[in-house]
Amino acid sequence: MSEIEIRARRFDAPESQALIRAALADLGERYGGSGDDTPVDAAEFALPAGAFLVAYLDGQPVGCGGWRSHGDDGATAELKRMYTAPAARGRGVARSVLTAVERSAREQGRERIILECGDRQPEAIAMYTSAGYERIPNFGFYKDAPGCLSFGRTL
């Protein structure tokens, strides 16, 4: 089995954007439309206010995820753009990215991490709950949308 390598990358780097486009296409298939209309600025994913990470298998980018600051207290990070390419699923990529994102946020002083997820992503929901995430009140762009589920956990 190949070793998963996680590297920090700019949110607007070509490999990051290719994975993000694939993630949005996947969400679009599940929910319709563009997949996710949440306003996102690449600058939000630059240290110390955030980070974006790309996972590689055999030198090929196969997954991604990032965090950005949430709220004004500097204690909370929001997980965004988690994705694993279909060919790499079931190999621990998402779990490795999630662990690395959490570590990065913790290293930048964040104490909690939150996320929005839709009810048509059972594999993501299962991963988050098995990683210790619990349901929290909905927040963010989709907080009033049907099927929106929000989760959080202490780092």
Could you give all domains of the chain from N- to C-terminal order, each with its CATH number? Answer: 4-110 (3.40.630.30)
For residue 2, what pLDDT is reported?
Answer: 77
Strands (E), 31-111: 50-57, 60-70, 76-84
Round to whole Å and give the CA distance between 146 and 155. Answer: 28
pLDDT by 10s per residue, the chain, length 155: 579 999 999 999 999 999 999 999 999 999 988 888 899 999 999 999 999 999 999 999 999 999 999 999 999 999 999 999 999 999 999 999 999 999 999 999 999 999 999 999 999 999 999 999 999 999 999 999 999 999 999 99
CA triple 58-63-67, angle to 5 deg? 135
